[in-house]
């Protein structure tokens, strides 16, 4: 780089400095705290004087009878959510796109978007009533159809699916907006060309709209892979109960219950580290996939 360029770019580099400092201070600095995962951390003694225990915390977690079940639940629930979170908004966006009445389209969009802003505490309160076998509207409908009532929140066979479905219900409006935006960006001349070739609405969707939004779809999905160990603490914590621990307990809620009692900083940090490592691998993988299939790149 020539001297002249360097001088021209200097202000730009200076502008970066505050950002870098903040990142160093708040993102890299705390990483030193990772050592807590390897020691018997006592706050009064501090990070440098607590007893070093090596991999004891990891062994402790590994040996807990529930860990494997919890890990399986986490991945299963997160995976269902990723799949549901992919198709539900995509289909809704495609359908909404076909609606000509602007007012109707906007209303639907707003209404399905609304639950996204509700906290899980409120949603859980509503869901417990709605899904109740004695008085809930869902079970009354099921009974009217001639089926047996289902104890959605108390039956460990149903619980993970309830989690996935309610999560999709809450969040698909948000995803729909993203896909609608992508659809709006499709060049209208492509549709005109398709009409000239004699394509009906269905063929237009199939051959113009869908191929046009495939990159963003792949991108969103691959990036979601990094979240495979985040199955939604807020949601599960507010909906679960002892009778569904076996299928509904996820890593975050489990650590919360185990660590809550006793301020086991070491164990909590070890789990956090474990999650971070898995997430790092998955994010690296998904970035590679996104690059490969959607030509998405950051650098």
- Strand ranges for 77-198 from DSSP E: none
- The distance of Cα 144 from the centroid of its chain, to the nearest Å, equals 35
Least separation in angstroms between residue 121's CB and another protein is 5
Least separation in angstroms between residue 152's CB and another protein is 9
Least separation in angstroms between residue 93's CB and another protein is 31
Beta bridge partners of 39: 52
**Closer residue to another protein, CB minimum distance, 20 or 47:** 47
**CB contact set of 289 (below 8 Å; sequence gap of 6+):** 218, 222, 225
**CB contact set of 20 (below 8 Å; sequence gap of 6+):** none
SS3 of 39, please?
strand
Cβ 150 vs Cβ 219: under 8 Å: no
Least separation in angstroms between residue 257's CB and another protein is 6
**Closer residue to another protein, CB minimum distance, 116 or 257:** 257
**Closer residue to another protein, CB minimum distance, 7 or 49:** 49
Least separation in angstroms between residue 131's CB and another protein is 9
| Angle, vertex CA 74, rays to CA 77 and CA 232, nearest 5 | 75
**Closer residue to another protein, CB minimum distance, 123 or 213:** 123
**Closer residue to another protein, CB minimum distance, 11 or 242:** 242
Q: Give percent helix, percent strand, percent coil of the chain, each to the nearest 5.
A: 75, 0, 25
How many Å apart are CA 30 and CA 24, to the nearest integer?
9
Least separation in angstroms between residue 261's CB and another protein is 4
**Closer residue to another protein, CB minimum distance, 157 or 201:** 157
Q: Using CB under 8 A as the criterion, which residues of the chain lie in contact with another protein when the complex forms?
A: 26, 29-30, 32-34, 36, 42-48, 60, 64-66, 119-121, 125, 128, 132-134, 151, 153-154, 233-234, 237-238, 241-243, 245, 252, 255-265, 268-269, 272
Which residue shows structure tokens 């609405």?
201
> For residue 92, what are its two tokens?
């809704």
């Amino acid at each position: 780089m020539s001297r002249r360029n360097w001088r021209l770019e200097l202000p730009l580099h200076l502008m970066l400095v505050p950002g870098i400092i903040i990142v160093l201070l708040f993102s890299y600095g705390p990483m030193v705290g990772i050592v807590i995962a390897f020691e018997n951390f006592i706050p009064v003694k501090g990070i440098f004087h607590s007893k070093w225990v090596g991999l004891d915390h990891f062994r402790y977690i590994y040996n807990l009878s529930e860990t494997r079940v919890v890990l399986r639940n986490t991945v299963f629930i997160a995976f269902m959510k990723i799949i549901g979170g992919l198709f539900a908004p995509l289909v809704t966006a495609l359908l909404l796109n076909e609606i000509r009445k602007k007012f109707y389209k906007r209303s639907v969009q707003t209404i399905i978007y609304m639950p996204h802003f509700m906290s899980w505490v409120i949603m859980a309160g509503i869901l417990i009533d709605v899904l109740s076998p004695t008085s809930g509207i869902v079970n009354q409908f099921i009974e009217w159809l001639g089926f047996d009532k289902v104890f959605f929140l108390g039956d460990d066979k149903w619980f993970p699916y309830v989690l996935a479905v309610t999560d999709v219900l809450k969040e698909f409006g948000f995803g729909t907006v993203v896909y609608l935006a992508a659809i709006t960006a499709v060049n209208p001349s492509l549709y005109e060309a398709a009409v000239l070739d004699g394509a009906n609405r269905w063929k237009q969707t199939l051959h113009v709209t869908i191929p046009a939004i495939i990159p963003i779809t792949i991108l969103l999905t691959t990036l979601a892979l990094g979240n495979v160990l985040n199955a939604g603490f807020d949601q599960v914590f507010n909906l679960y109960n002892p009778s569904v621990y076996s299928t509904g307990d996820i890593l975050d809620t489990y650590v919360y219950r185990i660590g809550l009692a006793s301020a086991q900083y070491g164990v909590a940090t070890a789990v956090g580290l474990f999650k971070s490592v898995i997430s790092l691998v998955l994010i690296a993988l998904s970035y590679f996939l996104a690059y490969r299939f959607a030509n998405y790149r950051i650098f």
